[in-house]
């Protein structure tokens, strides 16, 4: 497992610091508490997704179905709660959506673990399957009236400050969902046998099997946990945008993967930290917001994300080659 603050994470932190200083020098209003609140709010959904993607990448797999799971979970949950006239806490929405996410993640786990199918192909297929099933049998109508609990959650803010135009801006309650997910996942990856097993199968699956690790159990946990996080992220997203749209979140998979890879996770598995993933997410959010502020068209934003993926993958590949050379020299 990686250290708490690796070279790659330090590199990403320095890039973030540089970007912040550049943006702030162009627009001094960037250095306000309200701007920080907005950036944190924008980072929540991608951050929750990123935590799940990190776990999959560390295990040596690839998951691109999580956005479809999120859309499915939040859409079904919202319509169900509306149909029964539920007006209680948003925690019920989180529980229902998370449970649906676990069930959908279980489908991925069965196909990957029991049938030994490639993770990329499986999640590509199931992502399309979940989305197609939702559109065909549940509906395509956008839910514009969410359950009251989700609306209350979206409006809950802490530590309000006065904005430059005279309004108020506060720290969204959604940020605390991310702050709950991050330490739990960090603890699992770093202080449990399950976490050690995730790193082990990503580093060398054959060696992990010889060591007696139950690969099937570990993979079942990974994809069910990712499904659970996707369900949670879906509710947060719908609450913040005040709608449940079956077409939402489609296409954001690459941005999340780019952020996690840029944070130090390797596509080949065995490497990556929670801190690196969160730093990568924050960097991508800052870049996207900066491009929007500068009026850069959306297709150029997609090009930038593509370049980030290439850059992040190149850096981790070079690090891997360098470590391999050092290992060979040490063994001679």
- Give pLDDT, residue 3: 44
The DSSP bridge partners found for residue 297 are: none
pLDDT (0 to 100) of residue 293: 65
Sign for the CA dihedral angle at 2, 102, 38, 254 comes to positive
At residue 59, does pLDDT exceed 90?
A: yes
So what's the pLDDT on residue 9?
84
pLDDT of 218: 96
β-sheet bridge partners, residue 158: 171
3-class DSSP state for residue 267? Answer: coil
Q: Is the pLDDT of residue 320 over 70?
A: no
Model pLDDT, residue 239:
96
pLDDT tens digit sequence for 254-309: 889 989 988 889 888 998 999 999 999 999 898 887 776 666 676 677 777 777 76
Query: How does residue 47 score in pLDDT terms, banded at 50, 70 and 90?
Result: very high
Q: How many CB atoms are closer than 10 A to CB 328?
A: 9
- Higher pLDDT residue, 322 or 65? 65
Tell me the fold of 7-18+32-315: ABC transporter involved in vitamin B12 uptake, BtuC (1.10.3470)
Examine the pLDDT at 194 and tell me if it is beyond 60: yes
Q: Residues 104, 109, 115, 121: is their CA dihedral positive or negative?
A: positive
Spatial separation of the C-alpha atoms in residues 28 and 295, rounded to whole Å: 18
For the cut 50, the answer to whether the pLDDT of residue 82 exceeds it is yes
Between 21 and 304, residue with greater pLDDT = 21
Tens of pLDDT, residue by residue over 152-190, are 999 999 998 887 666 788 999 999 999 999 999 999 999
Give the mean model confidence (pLDDT) for residues 143-160.
94
H helices then E strands: how many in the chain? 13, 2
């Amino acid at each position: 497992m990686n250290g708490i603050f690796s070279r790659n994470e330090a590199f990403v932190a320095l890039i973030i610091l540089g970007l912040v200083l550049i943006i702030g020098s162009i627009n001094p209003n960037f250095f306000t508490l309200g701007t920080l609140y907005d950036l944190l709010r924008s980072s929540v959904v991608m951050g929750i997704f990123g935590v799940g993607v990190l776990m999959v990448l560390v295990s040596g797999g690839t998951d691109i179905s999580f956005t479809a799971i999120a859309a499915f979970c939040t859409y079904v949950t919202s319509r169900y709660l509306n149909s029964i006239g539920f007006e209680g806490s948003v925690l019920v929405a989180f529980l229902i959506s998370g449970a649906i996410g676990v069930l959908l993640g279980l489908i991925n786990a069965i196909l990957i673990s029991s049938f030994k199918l490639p993770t990329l192909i499986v999640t590509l297929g199931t992502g399309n399957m979940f989305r197609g099933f939702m559109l065909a049998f549940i509906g395509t109508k956008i839910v514009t009236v969410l359950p009251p609990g989700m609306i209350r959650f979206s409006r809950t803010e802490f530590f309000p400050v006065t904005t430059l135009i005279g309004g108020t801006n506060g720290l969204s309650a959604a940020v605390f969902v991310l702050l709950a997910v991050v330490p739990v996942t960090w603890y699992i990856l770093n202080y449990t046998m399950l976490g050690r097993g995730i790193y082990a199968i990503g580093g060398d699956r054959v060696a992990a099997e010889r060591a007696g690790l139950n690969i099937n159990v570990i993979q079942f946990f990974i994809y069910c946990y990712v499904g659970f996080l996707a369900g949670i992220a879906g509710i947060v997203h719908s609450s913040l945008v005040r709608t449940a749209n079956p077409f939402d979140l489609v296409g954001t998979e690459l941005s999340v993967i780019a952020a996690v890879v840029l944070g130090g996770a390797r596509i080949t598995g065995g490497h990556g930290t929670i801190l690196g993933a969160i730093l990568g997410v924050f960097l991508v959010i800052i870049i996207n917001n900066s491009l929007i502020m500068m009026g850069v068209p959306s297709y150029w934003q997609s090009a930038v994300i593509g370049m980030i993926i290439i850059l992040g993958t190149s850096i981790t590949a070079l690090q891997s080659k360098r470590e391999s050379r050092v290992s060979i020299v040490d063994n001679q």
